[in-house]
Amino acid sequence: MDKFLVYGNPIAQSKSPAIHQMFATQTEQAIHYEKCLSTKESFVNDVNEFILAGGKGANVTAPFKEQAMAMCDQLTERAKAAGAVNTLVFSAGQIKGDNTDGIGLVNDLISQKVEISNKKVLLMGAGGAARGVILPLLAQNPSQLILVNRTMAKAVTLAKCFDSPNLQVISFADTENHAFDLIINATSASLSAALPALSTNAITAKTVCYDMVYGKQLSPFLLWCQQQGAKQVIDGLGMLINQAAESYFLWRKVKPDCETPLNTLRAELTAAPSKGKS
């Protein structure tokens, strides 16, 4: 039976084992998937020991995504663009690194019937969560992908990592002069019940608002967007499951359906308070 792990610190809250077991049941494959609490000092050794024990692949969450990237013999273009790795594939003595966060976001949006092509998109944040989704979003050919961040210089630096005329940077004050088709919150504001300094003018009756945070209830940001009359609000649970599905595909060469895991985890969230980030 092929063995897989997810590394993180903390890791007890991870839903990855449950998600991948649902994928395995659905695709009629036998896998063994566990959580591993690691440390920055032990991470590299932990991965190498898992490979020696016959491990076939691993997921990586905070705070090890950059360390995982440094271990890789090969990197996909989206991993290079993200500057971090969340999926490791072990094969023929090589470690291949990928980042499935961005495609997980895009696939969730597509499943929710949200159009990106030729649309004006605002991405809030300039940290790792934002960087990881820029390349897949640009691949959907939005008319504009605009970055905004509390520290504008950080957003400018991030934009310079991507060679695209459709990628621009504005300040939060400038959002007063724009209306968007899609707004994506990649900041950590919702985890502390805070709101980004976004102008109400940015949201119209045709705006879809997305928050990478997920929980039993809508985040403060999504509740605020509802109050502003947004067309649709979506949390990050689907992104979590879709990025896992992409990892599963890299390992097993079969793409699982995300609907059943999404419904199962959504029901669990309604049963007990929970909050997380994809």
pLDDT digits (tens, 9 = 90+) for 163-199: 899 999 999 999 999 999 999 999 987 667 778 899 9
Residue 132 has pLDDT above 60, yes or no: yes
pLDDT tens-digit readout, 194-222: 788 999 999 999 999 999 999 999 999 99
Spot the catalytic one: 65, 96, 119, 120: 65
98 Cβ neighbours under 8 A, 6+ residues apart: 75, 76, 78, 79, 85, 86, 87, 89, 246, 247, 250
Checking if the pLDDT of 103 tops 70, the result is yes
Cβ proximity of 102 and 121 under 8 Å: no
Homologous superfamily assigned to 114-236: NAD(P)-binding Rossmann-like Domain (3.40.50.720)
Do 2-102+238-277 and 114-236 agree at the fold level?
yes
**What is the token pair recorded at 120?**
């004006």
Domain 2-102+238-277 has CATH 3.60.10.10: no
275 pLDDT band, cuts 50/70/90, is very low
Return d(Cα 145, Cα 153) in angstroms, integer.
17
- CB–CB of 20/33 below 8 Å? yes
Cα separation of 102 and 77, whole Å?
A: 12
Question: Residue 4 and residue 88: Cα distance in Å, rounded?
Answer: 10
pLDDT score for 274: 45
Q: For the residues 222-239, what does the mean pLDDT come to?
A: 97
Is residue 65 flagged as an active site residue?
yes
Q: Where are the domains of the chain?
A: 2-102+238-277, 114-236
The Cα 5–Cα 7 span in angstroms is 6
